[in-house]
Structure formats: C-alpha cells, structure tokens
Structure 1
Amino acid sequence: MRLAVIAPGGYGKSALLDRLAEVDGAVRHRRGVVPDAGLLLVDDAHLLGDAGLAEVAELAADDRLGVVVAARPWPRPHGLSAVLARLRGQIVLRPFDRDRVAACLRVVTGADPEPSTVDKVHALTGGVPGLVHRLAPHLRAPDPALAAEDLRFDVDRLDRDARRVLVAAEAGIADLPPGVLDRQAAEVVAEVRAGGLTAPDGALLPVAAAAVRAVVPDEERASAFAAVATARLAAGGPLVATARALLDAGASGPEAAELYAAAAPEAEPAQAVRLYAAAAAAGHEVDEAGWAEAEVRAGDPAAALRRADAVIGRGTGAARARAAAVAGAALAHRGQLARSAELYRWGGGAVSAAFAAIGYVGTGKLEEARLALKDAEDAPPTVFAGAVTATARGVLDSVAGPALSTVVHAAEAMEAVGAGALLPDSPAAIAALMALHGGDPAAAEPVLDRAVAARVGGAPLVARHRLLRGWAAMVAGDEAAATAAVGAEPAGRDAVFAAGLAVGVARRGSDLGALRRRWEGACAAVARQPVDLFTLLPLGELAVAAARLGDRDRLAPHVAAAWELLAALGDPPLWTTMPHWHGLHAELLADDPDAARGHADALRAAADAGPVTAALADAAQVWLRVVGGDVDRDAVESAARALHTAGLRWDGARLAGQAAIRTPDRAAMVGLLECARGLQGPAATPPRTRRASPPGSASASCRSRAWCWRA
C-alpha cells in the first residue's frame, strides 16, 4: 500500500489514518524512528520540515514498506512533491452527500435527524465532514453562529493576508484587486481553500462565514474593507460589484464612501440610490443631481423632486441644468406636464428643448412648442437626440395632419439607446397614444412590445407601456388582457390610465357593481392630475362611465378643460376624434340626443381625415338613428363591421347589439344578433346572405337579450 491522501482540512484524513493504524504492523511516523517493516502512516505531511520530508522520502524508497501520506493541498514544499512522486495512487476524500450527513448525525447524536435538519446542516457545511461534526452538537436549532467558537482556532491561526481573504469572501468579494495582500493572491487563496472552510468553487461556507463574522474583530474587518476599496479605486475598471458587496457588509469608512460615490453612476437605479446615500452618510461629497436622477429612475419621483429642487436652488452651471432635467422628468411622470415643460426649457440644452416642445404641445401651447423645437434642432447628431427631436416634431405635426410614422420611426431608433435613459415619456408610448386616438390599436401593440423588450426608459416607464398595451387590448375586445394590464396600484399619470382601464373593462362587461366600486378611486386619480393631451383617452372613458352612473358633475370641470385644450390646439382631427366618440356615448347614456348630435356632427365634419375617422363618423350617425328607433339592418351591419375593421371591435359588436334590441323587425333582430356575435372575434364576419327565418326563431331568446344588454 503506497498511497497519498490529499484533501483540505476537515475532510477526514486523520480519521482515515486512525482506522489504518488498527492494521497489524502499521506505525505512525515519528522523527528518527525507522520501522522494520509494515505500514508507515504520515499525517500532516505538508507541515513537516525539509529534514522530516527527506526522512520520509528515504523511507519511501524502501519498496518493502507500505506508505500512506496525508497532506493538505497547500502548502506544497518541494520535499513533499518528492515524497508523493514515490507513491502509486491516491485516496480521494469528498464532501458528504445528504445521506452521509444523515448517517453522521445519527452516529453523533444517537437519533434519526429530521430531513429538514439534514438539509440545513448540508447547506451550512457543504458536507465537509469536520464541519458536520462541529455543528452536530447544535442540532436543536442548526445555527452557524453556534459553531463559530468551535472554528475560532481555525481562523485565529491564519495570518493577516489569509484573514483578509476570508473577510472579503464573507462579504462576497471573490476577486481581490492588487494591493490588498502582501503575498501573491493565488498563494493566499490556496491556503484558505486548504483549510476546509470553502466549497470546491471557493465560496465561503455559511458556517465558516458565521465564524469569520464572530471571530474577526470589527477594526480588522474595517481595515480589510478600506484596503479593498482603495485598491479597487486604484485598479480602475468596474466598481459596482465591489461597492455593492462592501455596502451589504456594512463598510462605512471614508475609503468605502469614496468607492460608493464613484460606483453609484455605474449602478442600477435602486442600487445607485443606496450607494449615494451611504457615501453621503459617511461624509463624502456626492453628485446630488445624479442622486436625484437615480431616485426617479428607481421609481421615487417625490424624493427626486425634493433633491433636484434643492440643487436648482443652490447649485450652479451643469448641476442645475441636470437637476432641472431630472425634475422635468419626475414631474412628467407625476402628470404635471406644464411644469415639466417649463423646467426642461429653463434648464437649457437641445435635448431638453425637444422634451419641452412635447410638453408644450401636450398642454396646448403651440407657439412655445415651435420655439422650443427650433432650439432642439441644435441637438448633437446622436441616435438618442435624433429620436427625441423626431418625437417632438411628430407631436407638433400631429395637430395639423398625419404624423404617426414619424414617431414610430423615433420609437424604433430609441430601442437601441433608451434602456438607460431618463425620459419624461417614451416615443413608443406617444406613438401608441397617437395610434389609439386614430382608431388603430393594432399599430400600437408592436411598438409597445418592442419598447418593453428593449426596456426603453427603464423602470419608470414599465407601467406606462403595460397600461397602454392593455388599453389597446380593451379597445380590441380582449377584456382578460386589459384586466391583467392594470397590475399593482400605479402612481401619477399612470393612475389615471389604470383607473380608465379598470372602469372601461367593468363597463364593457356590464359589471355595474365593479363600476361603482372603482368609481371613487377613478375620480380621485383624475382630481390629482391636470388635463393634458396625453390623458384624453382615460378621461373620455371615465366621462362615459360618469354618464352611466349619473355622476357627470364630478368630471365636468376636467371634461371642459379637455375641450379648451383641444380648442387651443385648433381642434386637430387626430386628437379630437376619440373625445367626440366618447362624448357621443356619454350624451346618449345621459339621454341628451341634441348634445350627442353635436359630437356626431363634429365627427362628420372631420370624416375626410382618414378611414378610421370616416368609419366613426358614419357609425355615429347610424347610432343616433338606432337610438331614435330607426334601425336599417344593412346600414347598421355596415357601420358595425367598419368599426370592427378599424380595431374598435367591442364598439362594433355593441352597435349591432343595440340595434337588435330596438328593431321591431324580428328577422332583422336575429340577423343583427348574429352579426354582433360574429364581431366579438378577431375578424369581422363576412356579410351573410339573407335567409328566411325558420319557425320559432322570430324572437330573441332570453340569453340573446341578456347578451345585448351586456353589450
């Protein structure tokens, strides 16, 4: 038997030699004692000096003598390598699996351990046999902290470099920068791994991490963290991983604070906020405008506004301009579009001027928008600046004619560069709004999907993109997708869209109870937000619901403000079509046909603006006649199918259903019911050839009538 046993501490080398010592003729190695024959057992060979290793090598040269040598992987002196070269094989000791952990615990405690206890011990120790034995006395509540004292000697006997490696590993820092250690890092890491406190991949085992926290004094940990922070800053390269690890470990000295401040601009928003705060708490000067930007991107516009406002008040130059842009974005997310535009304009810069132009159009200030857009033409020729400027140009052009393609192209360009940008709104969201106002929800869906996939605008625009996607689904008749899009309770302008979406789904489902439950919250959301061009869709939907509930007075000031805004813009067909459509239905529900006729006439006057507007204009006239009892089946079906083709599937089905319950012609009623059912699907049903109704089909069934009232 001529074997080597190489394994880290705690893997059972000595236990194996103890078992072999029971063999007849086995003797343990002692300096100066030469066995006659049999089996020579050498433990901790890595600790033998040159003389001791030379002696073992000389003994191993005698082929009549069996030799088993146990050693750690490190250190590996030259003399040990010479001894191992004379051996013929190696016994491999591995960590315990769960079954062997259970068996070990059974032997140590004399009882069968619970499976959960076995799993926890295995997770805490990595299955290292020595660590399992040390934790076994604490099985009543397996806690690595309870075994920390048992490992004190293992940690205490290490030198400063090895202890720094352990402290860094406990903090999650695996790659130490040059300058932290006096010795070669590879050598120190090999020493630590040989101690049996790490997993095979080098990660510190939980029970060992608890020992490091308990044994290494706070001042020594602080010194190690300071050395890591200083070395990482000196080495350059990415800083975030090290900064995050030190922050999570509680490092707070001046060196760590300097690292936090330097790493914050590179970090994800939520992490950046923590880094800025930790640096400031340690007394280090930080970029307040950058901190405010991180806050708004992390979803806290209120905190961002407070910080940015302070910088605007006391800062200078570039810091004030950046703070103004941050405040402008935060205010836009909160629905304060007019103030947002003012701050962007005041802060200066071509890109900010483009954002200001969008805000000015959204609040009905066309002249200011034109002046801002002129300044935006000086933007640098970057993809980002080009996308923002094109969006502003498209929004301004939309008050005079078609401009959707301009904004869609801007949205496509923004997909490549917009993930880390702070945006008051995204080109994709604005393009989707234009498509929805133009009665083309199918055009809104892909541009939103691409923006979501590209994470345009980051976290602040996630809810906005999702809600607009849900709005397109609702208009198209997919109530399940629309309901799913509402998600968690949003804030700011998103709250208005969420309220409009929830109310719209309830109304389309004829769920009067849900409509009433959501109404108070919807009114509160609207009351908190000034009216602007980009919130007309939910306001229109809520106006219809208000008429359904007989509570129009609460929304009357907001509806009046919307019409004033549109008048200031010159009543552009793109933006007035859907408000007139919503107004038509609100007046019909309020039983005011004269007011409804005014909206229908406005739609007819703008019918030449495009096929969708023409379809809505025709449908409005047909709807008025239906409400008045004049049901022309051919005209109704044609108008309903045109609405369906325009993407307003629910409206098309509802028109056919409403006509069915108002016609005195029973055959027409059945035909219109069939048309309404067909229009619920994704594609309009082709015109049917009229057939004589079979006996018994002349009256609608109760189920059919219920469906009509639901529509």
Structure 2
Amino acid sequence: MLDEPTRQLCAAIAERRLTQVRLAVVAAGDHGKTALLDHLRALCTAAGLTVARFDPARADDEPVDLVLADDAHTYGEAELAALARLLGDERTGVVVAARPRPRPAGLNAVLSRLRGQILLRPLERPQVAEHLAAYGVSIELAEFVRAQTGGVPGHVHRVVTALAAVPPSERGELPPAAFGGIRQELDRAEPGVLRFLLAVEAGAGPDIDLLGGLLGRDPEGVSTVIDLARATGLFGADGTLLPITLAALRALVPAERHAAVRQRLVELQLERGAPVLRLVRPWLGKAIAGPSVAKAFEAAADEALGSDPALAARLLEAAVAAGRPAAELGARRAEAVALAGDLDGALRLADEVIAASAATGRADGARVAATALTHRGQLGRSAELLQWSGTRRSRAFAAISLIATGRRAEAERELEKAAEGDGDEPPTLLSGALSAVARGVVESVGGAPTAALSTLVSSAEMLEPVGRAVLLPDSPAALGALVALHSGELTIAEPLLERALAARTGGVTLQARHQLLLAWIAMVRGDAALAAERLNAAEEVRQPRDWLFAVGLEVGLARRTSDLTALRRIWGVACEAVIRHPVDLFSFLPFGEFAMAAARLGERDRLAPHLAQAHAVLRGLGDPPLWAASLHWSELHAAIIAERAGEAKDHAAALAACAGHGAYFTAVADAAACWLKVLAGDIDAEEVEAAAHALRGSGLWWDGARLAGQAAIRTTDRKAMVALLDCARMLQGTSAASPSPPAEGAATEDSPGAARLSDRELQVAELVLGGMTYKEVGARLFISAKTVEHHMARMRQRLGAGSRAELLAQLRELLGDRPK
C-alpha cells in the first residue's frame, strides 16, 4: 500500500522515465523496505528490465538494468566496498534499503553517493481499513489495529492476518500469532537491545546513567544500543514502545528475565537515591520478597505518600510482607492509612505501635493516634498523647488541644517547649508553620482577635506548599476560619478556606471540614441555597467532628427557613451528635445552633449540661471575648425564643462586656441591647436599623434581617413598621424596588383551585400546613400574627370551609396540585 508519490516513482523507474537510478530506502524494521523492493522488481521485470539482487560475487561485466540491495546495514566491509564500486557504473540503476542503525562508515559512504530517498511512512487509518477489508475483517477494527501497531506496515499486516484467522468473537485483543515478526526480531537482537527493551517496558525512561549501569556500558555505548533498538520498528514515532511490542515482550520473554531487569534497575535507583515508584508498583500483589525488595517498597511508599496515600499504605504493607519488620513501619503505615481517610484503621495501627515497647516511631504513632482522636472530637485524650509524643510538631498541636479544652497554662508551657525544640529536629517549613498555628490559637484567647487571625492566615499560607502530604489534626485554614467566624471577618475566612481546598491541605481527612466551614459562612450570611449546596458538596462525612458541623448546618438552615418539620426531624440526629462529641472551644458554633433549636422545641434541659461544659471551657481560658461572644449571642436568642427575659438580660450584659474588643463585638452587644428593648416594646426604628446594619456589616446578614423584622411586627408606629420591613427585606436580599406581589385578592394561575387565593394567602397556607404557628408565620413573612389570622379567615370564607379542619384539608388538596 504505497502512497501516490512512491507509486509514481516506481512506475517512472519501470518505464525508464527516471535514468541513472540512485535511490535509498532508509526506514526502521517492518516499515516495508523488502516489500517495496519486491514490488519494484516485479514492476520492472514486467516492463522488460533486467533486475538483480545485490551479490558481491556477481561479475562486473554481467549486464543488468537495476540492482536492489536489501538490508545494507547488515553488510560487512567487503560487501559495502563492492556496492560502492557498483555505484561507479552509471549504466546500472541501484536502490539500497537499510535501517537507520547500525551505520558503519562504509554504509555512510554508499548512502552519500545516492541521489534521492524513498520515504516509507506508517499506514493511516483508511489504509489499515483497506487492508482489513482485503482479508475479510470488519473495518471497525481499523482504529484498534492502528493504535496497537502505530501503523507500522509489517505489524499491521501480521495483526490483520492473525485476526482473520480467529473467530469474530475473539477479535477484541491481539492474537498471539501477531507476535511472529517481533519474536524473530527479539531472537536476533543483541543482548543489550533486549535488556534495553525490558528496561523501557519496566518504566526506566531515557536515563543514560541508569541504563549505563544496567547495560554495563558508557554513555556512548548506551546511545548505540538505543539507536539499534529504535531501528527495530518496535517503537512509535514519539519514542515509546508500541502497544504490540509491550504485549509481545510480556508474552514472549520469560517472567524471570523481566524481574531480573526490574530488580537491577531498582537497586541502581536506590543506590543513587532516585525515584523507584514507577519500577516497583507492578510488584504489588506478587509473591516476591527479600531485603532489597522490602527496601524498594519502602522507598516507593515515601514517594507515593504525597499524591496517593492509599497506594503508599499498600506499598508499606508489601514491604512488611517482603520481610521488613512490622514494628519498624507501624507508625508510617498508620500515617499513610490516615492520610487516605481511614482514621479508624490508622488509630488501630498507631495503638499497636504505642503499645509495643520495642517498636520504632512510637512518638509518631502517638501523633497519628492523637490526630484520629481529634477528628473524633476527643481533644482531651489527644492532648495527652501529643504531650507524651514530645516532638516539636506534637507539642504545637498539644497546645492547640489544651486551649480547646480550657487548659491555657498547660498550653502555654507546651508552646514554650515547642519553641525550644529538640536539637535533632531541623527548623523546617512544616515545623515553623505548625508553631505559628499554635501561637495564633493561644493569641486568640489572650490577645487581640486581629493579631490571632493574622498569625493563622500567615501560617496557612506557609503550609500550602507542603500541606497536602501532612497529616494534621486541624488545619490553620480551618482554625483561622473559626476565629474569623467568631469575630465577623467572613471576607477573610472564605478565601482562606477556598485556598486550603485548592491546595488539599491535610489531604482527604480535612476536605470535608473545609467544605463545611464554607457552608457555615454562607448560612451566617443568610444564603440558605448556597449553604445547602456547599453542605451537599462536602466529601463523605465520616468522623464525629465533621458530622457535628454537618448536623449543625442542617439545624441552622431549618431554623432560618422556619421549617419546623425539618427541625423536628433533624433534632434526634442532633442529640446523637451532641452525645458523641464533647464540647470544646472549636465546637461552639454547632452547639450554639443546637441551643436555639432546643429552645424552639422545648428541649433546653437536654442541652443544658453541654452548655455548662462550654462555659467551663471559657472560664478555664479567662472568658476570652473572641470565643465567648458567639456563645452568648446564641444563648441570648435561645432565651428570647424560650421567653426567659432574665437569661436574655444576663447574656446581653455578657456581650456588653465584650464590646470594647472590636467592631464585631460592639455590633452584637448593641444588637443584644436592641433586642431587649424590642421585646419590651420600646422600639426606636433608627436604633434598630443601625443595629441591624451593623450586624450585616459583621457578616450576620440573617440576624440583622430578623432583628429588623421582629421590631417591625411589634411596633405600633406604621411609618416605623414600613421602614423596618423595608430594612429587613433589604438585609434578607430583597428591596422595596423589587416587583411587588399581586394585591390581596389578585388571582394566580398556578391551578384552577388556587385562582381564588392571592400569592400572600398561598404563602401563609404553605407555612401553616408546614406546622408553624401564626406567630412563627408572621416572623417568617414579616407580618403580625393578627394579619396571619386575618388571612386564614379570608381563605376559609373564599373556599367555603365550615371549620378550620375542613379549611386545612382543602388547602392540602389545593396546594398538593399546585406546581412547585
């Protein structure tokens, strides 16, 4: 299957239109050089020309029109000299075919005297399809055949003829018969070429030094072997082994030869301190052992840990199976398993290491176990293990756990010890970042919130380059986001978490935490849709700490959308989460949501011990305003919901004591005072609006809207009510400029039955059927409970319902048919 230029050239030679033929055909093996010469001989003979194969013994005076010299790269010096003499006879045409390598000086001299070259290219898909059709094989296999062979004509021909010989049902893979030509090539290849091919198949790549060690040759000798191998036609145009070559090597070369080459490559790489993962990975699952094999698995695991910790765990397990003592790798296996997301498995492995007095890496095992316990919410036990571990890294996280459980003095001592460090521990980027995290957390309870936040943000940025492969109990981004949420700095928290997600800080174990905190930010801002979207996007929540926040989000969203049915449904799950997760400083946000939900559902007694524990943690830290304010704010609203005026005043007073520590704390303190006035009926519209806008400025959009809305439905001043309602709508994301709903009594077109009710009446009906009281419906829609009652009476009159039960039944039927 010649391309058109080559076809025309052959015809010109046969028809004597091309005189003084001096042509070269230089191509790798199996590209069709011999087939081309056969075609040319047949064409010229049919045209009456005398054609002969090159023979050094042929008499010089024997007349011939065309001499064809095949495989000239195999000629010796005498043959090449005879061919050079033949080229001196201008009466005889000469076509010389050869591989690109080897290229002895005599062949170079011959080729330099030729005047042109015939190019042999790989077959394209249409040519492969034509060949398939000629042998009665479906042309749908054309792409498969070309992908396997790279279009190399010899390989294509053997694959097509082999496919033609097997049933159609067996044509989905390469038949063994297709390897015949490659078998011959391997049989006649010099040993160095075969070892090179096996090295490439093993993944050695074009590393001259590595190949030199394998082949026992200098760089020039290695280059020679590579050139010879590439001249075989077993490689594609991009320099990689063809799929058919890989399949043939695996089928034709004994497994022990593969293993010997691969093991030697691994030994050479280990001696050089070079990567071995690509070479070692195929050994997984195979029964091979020995000290060098175990060492190779161990080195490969170190390489895989950052990008694929699950693979690293398998490699370390294989190292143990290959003979490495399990006690020496237990801590590293536990860390790899933890980074892969299996904290339960990591805790089991780490505990085995801690318990074995002869095990190495017990300090690291304690750190891994402490990490797993932190994710479970057991910060007290985590702190004990980290203190016992005693490394600089462990002491930094011990300080964080101690702060979280209210033990400030101990935390500061651990931070001092971490700063002193161990003389054997280098001051790495990681150790510096983790020390900064601990300092930031300590600053959050004893210094200015802005200073703590600044330290945590800088430590998060410092950790980004290396954080993906580091097992962390918590990330500086998550801790920084918590500080930001507790101080109203949401514009700092959000990008901080997004960067941590992009950098995959802490690996898979912290991805869900970062997602959940992003969802919390959206919820605080009043964007329930975005919060739900981020909650759903969070990776599978497996550990109690993440589950606590996920449940807290569901509770918070149900409360903010006044979905009492959903709140009741999730409350049982919330109670279970509360039991499984002890209160610590970093869990105040979900516990605050649970406090408000408990008040709404009449379950305050169930949560009281946990809130008492939260206040005990605060007292142990000296009641730091940064962490105390949010808890008092939540408890203020819980008291308001439960109609406990005395408790509400106590929490408002506590918030007032925090007011001097920043704009956020001033905003919530002012809003708390404003709430007390609103509840007492003392409503100053301007004061309420100012407090609501200050809450919005601190990130508490929904809280600001609710304050304005509740003030609106309690004031007797109509002008103030309109202004406050407009303020509430604006803070909630709508404004007075938005299109107004239809007037009372205006018909809707959702369904025939609904045509008798206004949009506002349908809204009221949906909320009442959802289980809300008139007071709750009014709070949701920023109208009074009396107005809700008025709407219900009008609906009963319009629908002709004889009783409230009959009205509710009609509304259920009507709204059930209404498009959502």
Normalised to the residue count of structure 1, the TM-score between the two structures is: 0.88
CA drift of 1:223 comes to 1.3
Distance (whole Å) between structure 2 residues aligned to residue 70 and residue 268 of structure 1: 52
Conserved 8 A contact 1:308-1:323? yes
Distance (whole Å) between structure 1 residues aligned to residue 714 and residue 40 of structure 2: 100
Aligned to 1:490: 541
1:133 has 2:157 as partner = yes
Aligned pairs for 1:198-347 (under 5 A) are 198-244=235-281, 247=284, 254-269=291-306, 270=309, 271-285=311-325, 287-315=329-357, 319-347=361-389
Aligned to 1:180: 214
Partner secondary structure for residue 620 of structure 1: helix
1:92 aligned partner, one-letter code:
L
Segment of structure 1 superposing worse, 506-515 or 11-20: 506-515
1:153 aligned partner, one-letter code:
Q
Conserved 8 A contact 1:637-1:672? yes
* Pair 1:63–1:331, CA change in 2 (3 A): farther
Segment of structure 1 superposing worse, 197-206 or 131-140: 131-140
Distance (whole Å) between structure 2 residues aligned to residue 99 and residue 518 of structure 1: 63
Distance (whole Å) between structure 2 residues aligned to residue 89 and residue 529 of structure 1: 83
Conserved 8 A contact 1:391-1:406? no
Aligned to 2:458: 412
1:393 has 2:393 as partner = no
1:220 aligned partner, one-letter code:
R
Q: Deviations over 1:528-553 (max 9, x none)?
A: 32221111112222333444455556
Q: Deviations over 1:609-652 (max 9, x none)?
A: 33212211222233344456554432322221111011111221
Alignment match of 1:431 (pick from 473, 476, 480): 480
Distance (whole Å) between structure 1 residues aligned to residue 122 and residue 206 of structure 2: 25
Distance (whole Å) between structure 2 residues aligned to residue 382 and residue 653 of structure 1: 48
Distance (whole Å) between structure 2 residues aligned to residue 368 and residue 503 of structure 1: 35
Conserved 8 A contact 2:444-2:452? no
Distance (whole Å) between structure 2 residues aligned to residue 249 and residue 95 of structure 1: 38
Segment of structure 1 superposing worse, 570-579 or 156-165: 156-165
* Pair 1:63–1:532, CA change in 2 (3 A): farther
Aligned pairs for 1:561-710 (under 5 A) are 561-627=613-679, 631-681=683-733, 709=780
Distance (whole Å) between structure 1 residues aligned to residue 366 and residue 172 of structure 2: 54
1:167 aligned partner, one-letter code:
L
Partner secondary structure for residue 530 of structure 1: coil
Normalised to the residue count of structure 2, the TM-score between the two structures is: 0.77
Distance (whole Å) between structure 2 residues aligned to residue 234 and residue 275 of structure 1: 19
Aligned to 1:466: 515
Distance (whole Å) between structure 2 residues aligned to residue 704 and residue 673 of structure 1: 17
Distance (whole Å) between structure 2 residues aligned to residue 18 and residue 651 of structure 1: 89
Distance (whole Å) between structure 1 residues aligned to residue 569 and residue 25 of structure 2: 74
Aligned to 2:226: 189
CA drift of 1:252 comes to 5.5
* Pair 1:363–1:226, CA change in 2 (3 A): same
* RCO comparison, higher one (Cα < 8 Å, 6+): 1
Aligned to 2:31: 11
Q: Deviations over 1:6-63 (max 9, x none)?
A: 2222222222222212232233334523562322222222223333333222222323
Partner secondary structure for residue 214 of structure 2: coil
Aligned to 1:122: 146
Distance (whole Å) between structure 2 residues aligned to residue 154 and residue 516 of structure 1: 76
* Pair 1:266–1:21, CA change in 2 (3 A): same
Partner secondary structure for residue 416 of structure 1: helix
1:312 aligned partner, one-letter code:
I
Aligned to 2:52: 27
CA drift of 1:145 comes to 5.6
Aligned to 2:773: none
Alignment match of 1:361 (pick from 387, 391, 403): 403
Segment of structure 1 superposing worse, 226-235 or 596-605: 596-605
Unaligned runs of 5+ in 1: 690-694
Distance (whole Å) between structure 2 residues aligned to residue 596 and residue 443 of structure 1: 31
Partner secondary structure for residue 636 of structure 1: helix
Distance (whole Å) between structure 2 residues aligned to residue 67 and residue 336 of structure 1: 87
1:398 aligned partner, one-letter code:
S
Conserved 8 A contact 2:202-2:279? no
Distance (whole Å) between structure 1 residues aligned to residue 584 and residue 500 of structure 2: 23
2:100 aligned partner, one-letter code:
P
Aligned pairs for 1:476-555 (under 5 A) are 476-486=525-535, 487-492=538-543, 493-511=545-563, 515=567, 519=571, 521-548=573-600, 555=607
Distance (whole Å) between structure 1 residues aligned to residue 371 and residue 708 of structure 2: 44
* Pair 1:174–1:36, CA change in 2 (3 A): same
The structure whose Rg is larger is 2
* Pair 1:166–1:667, CA change in 2 (3 A): same
Alignment match of 2:492 (pick from 443, 448, 451): 443
Segment of structure 1 superposing worse, 102-111 or 272-281: 102-111
Distance (whole Å) between structure 2 residues aligned to residue 513 and residue 196 of structure 1: 72
1:391 aligned partner, one-letter code:
V
Q: Deviations over 1:234-283 (max 9, x none)?
A: 23333444444655999766433322223433433414223212211111
* Count of residue correspondences: 698
Conserved 8 A contact 1:172-1:245? no
Q: Deviations over 1:431-470 (max 9, x none)?
A: 2211111222123223334444555434433332333233
CA drift of 1:128 comes to 2.0
Unaligned runs of 5+ in 2: 1-20, 738-742, 746-757, 765-776, 783-820
Partner secondary structure for residue 539 of structure 2: coil
Q: Deviations over 1:155-194 (max 9, x none)?
A: 4443443333333333333245132124533233323222
Conserved 8 A contact 2:195-2:261? yes
* Pair 1:334–1:230, CA change in 2 (3 A): same
Conserved 8 A contact 1:503-1:542? yes
Q: Deviations over 1:581-629 (max 9, x none)?
A: 2223334444545444443333234333332122112222333444565
* Pair 1:591–1:10, CA change in 2 (3 A): farther
Aligned to 2:84: 57
Conserved 8 A contact 2:81-2:106? yes
Q: Kindly, what percent of the aligned residue pairs are identical?
A: 49
* Pair 1:383–1:280, CA change in 2 (3 A): closer
CA drift of 1:376 comes to 2.3
